């Protein structure tokens, strides 16, 4: 079981620790709902050092990243971040990821913890086919990188105290490499998985303890608290953000998953699976991922059946929980396309009861 440079702090603070993606990670400290509201209303800090980081450099860097991801990498500028996914050559998704552009021939790919090995092997395969040198042009930095996500409406205000570089007014999905908290250089990005604003900070493992203490000290006057992965999941669900292994996987296409906005069918963007996905978009998929709100008391969970008014199976729940903001059950799931219209009535089978729900647009809530 792997640990992160911050594991001892979680244990000292009494977090409930459980295995996650091969790591021992904090699931909750004071309770998921309380931690959820802490991030929505103030700020919280997540240990996300389990995420994977791949560095791609050299004259073929752009060509590789453009080939293996569906979004248009050529549209990026230095300091810009892009959400994308790896198509798997069969119409499914290897993983979703973030692409950071340092320069025209220098990119950082940030991938999900559970998929690091799979994603690395996928990138290596295509890098070798294109003549890139593994260990030079494509490097796996995952085991050497620590990451904290400071999320919430007060996050940037608190973090501004730790650097002379202006970060409080940074645009969403941008990044800077800056001196921070006495550390010579960190990657400071206005990204996150909560929808409440904030940042994600990457540093070398040897700087992790210094980063933790500085972040907690700077955030103290704003009421900062550590947050576990349980609240991370409810926060992302309220925003309708896909979670790999739940809402997307090797059997789901980005078109079905509502990720057409990161699947760019533009000239010269010849990514893997482009013809297949282009045809699927034109023909319209047989099923679509949709958000829904429970209209009867019940909490939807992954794999619960979705049925129509007559009890016929029309889909399956991929993510579900009680929304701390809405105070009702919310979820996402794939339904047959004829049932995917916003406002449509569906039923979720919970403990042998068919409970009414309504198809809604995501995000489920609006944040500042």
Radius of gyration for the chain, computed over Cα atoms and rounded to the nearest angstrom: 21
> For the segment 99-119, what is each residue's pLDDT rounded down to a tens digit?
999 999 999 999 999 999 999
% pLDDT > 70, the chain? 100
Task: Write down the pLDDT at residue 193.
Answer: 97
Task: Write down the pLDDT at residue 22.
Answer: 94
Mean pLDDT across the chain, nearest whole number? 98
User: What does the pLDDT average to over 315-320?
Assistant: 98
CB 51 within 8 A of CB 98: no
Task: Write down the pLDDT at residue 113.
Answer: 96
Cα 296 to Cα 134, 348, 354, distances in angstroms: 54, 10, 10
Q: Give residue 341's pLDDT band: very low, low, confident or very high (50, 70, 90).
A: very high
Task: Write down the pLDDT at residue 250.
Answer: 98
Task: Write down the pLDDT at residue 367.
Answer: 86
Q: Give residue 231's pLDDT band: very low, low, confident or very high (50, 70, 90).
A: very high
Task: Write down the pLDDT at residue 117.
Answer: 98
What 3 state SS string does 172-220 have? Answer: CCEEEEEEECCEEEEEEECCCCCCCCEEEEEEEHHHHHHHHHHHHHHHH
DSSP 167: -
Domains of the chain, by residue range, sit at: 7-51+143-237, 286-361
Q: Can you tell me which residue has the tokens 């078109």?
A: 255
Cα 203 to Cα 63, 210, 256, 331, distances in angstroms: 27, 10, 36, 34
CA nearest 214: which of 175, 160, 152? Answer: 160
Q: Give residue 196's pLDDT band: very low, low, confident or very high (50, 70, 90).
A: very high
Task: Write down the pLDDT at residue 86.
Answer: 98
pTM of the model: 0.97
CATH code matching the domain that covers 7-51+143-237, chosen among 3.40.50.720, 3.30.1360.120, 3.30.70.360, 3.40.50.970:
3.30.1360.120
β-pairing, 198-204 vs 305-307, is unpaired
Q: Is 168 exposed, middle or buried (0-12, 13-18, 19+ CB in 10 A)?
A: middle
CB 153 within 8 A of CB 368: yes
Q: Is the CATH number of domain 286-361 2.40.30.110?
A: yes
> For the segment 258-306, what is each residue's pLDDT rounded down to a tens digit?
999 999 999 999 999 999 999 999 999 999 999 999 999 999 999 999 9
Could you tell me the strand order of the sheet in which 138-140 lies?
81-87, 93-103, 106-111, 52-57, 138-140
Q: Within its chain, how far is the Cα of 247 from the centroid?
A: 12
- Phi, psi for residue 108 in degrees, rounded to 5: -115, 130
> For the segment 157-180, what is each residue's pLDDT rounded down to a tens digit?
999 999 999 999 999 999 999 999
> For the segment 133-159, what is each residue's pLDDT rounded down to a tens digit?
999 999 999 999 999 999 999 999 999
Burial 333-348 (b: 16+ CB within 10 A, else e): bbbbeebbeeebebbb
Q: Is 223 exposed, middle or buried (0-12, 13-18, 19+ CB in 10 A)?
A: middle
Residue 123: which residues within 8 A CB-CB, separation 6 or more? 54, 56, 64, 68, 86, 109, 138
- pLDDT at residue 353 is higher than 80: yes
- pLDDT at residue 368 is higher than 80: no
């Amino acid at each position: 079981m792997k640990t992160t440079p911050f594991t001892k702090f979680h244990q000292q603070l009494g977090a409930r620790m459980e295995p996650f993606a091969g790591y021992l990670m904090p699931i909750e400290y004071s309770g998921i709902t309380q931690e959820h509201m802490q991030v929505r209303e103030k700020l919280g800090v997540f240990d996300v050092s389990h995420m994977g980081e791949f560095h791609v450099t050299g004259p073929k860097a752009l060509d590789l990243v453009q080939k293996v991801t569906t979004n248009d990498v050529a549209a990026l500028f230095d300091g810009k971040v892009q959400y994308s996914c790896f198509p798997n050559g069969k119409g499914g998704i290897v993983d979703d990821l973030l692409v950071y552009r340092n320069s025209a021939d220098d990119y950082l790919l940030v991938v999900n913890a559970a998929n690091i090995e799979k994603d690395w092997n996928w990138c290596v395969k295509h890098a070798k086919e294109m003549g890139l040198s593994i260990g030079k042009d494509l490097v796996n930095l995952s085991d050497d990188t620590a990451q904290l996500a400071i999320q919430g409406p007060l996050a940037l205000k608190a973090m501004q105290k730790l650097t002379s570089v202006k970060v409080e007014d940074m645009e969403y999905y941008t990044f800077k490499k800056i001196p921070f908290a006495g550390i010579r250089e960190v990657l400071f990005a206005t990204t996150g998985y909560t929808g409440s604003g904030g940042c994600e900070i990457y540093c070398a493992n040897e700087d992790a303890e210094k980063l933790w203490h500085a972040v907690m000290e700077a955030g103290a006057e704003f009421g900062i608290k550590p947050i576990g992965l349980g609240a991370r999941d409810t926060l992302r669900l309220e925003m309708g953000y896909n979670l790999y292994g739940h809402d997307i996987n090797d059997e789901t296409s980005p078109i079905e998953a509502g990720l057409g906005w990161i699947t760019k069918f533009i000239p010269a963007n010849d990514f893997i699976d482009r013809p297949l996905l282009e045809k699927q978009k034109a023909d319209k998929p047989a099923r679509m991922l949709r958000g829904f709100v429970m209209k009867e008391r019940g909490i939807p969970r992954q794999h619960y059946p979705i049925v129509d008014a007559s009890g016929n199976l029309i889909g399956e729940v991929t993510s579900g929980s009680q929304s701390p903001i809405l105070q009702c059950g919310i979820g996402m799931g794939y339904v047959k396309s004829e049932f995917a219209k916003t406002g449509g009535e569906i039923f979720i089978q919970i403990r042998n009861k068919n409970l009414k729900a309504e198809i809604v647009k995501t995000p489920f809530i609006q944040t500042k």
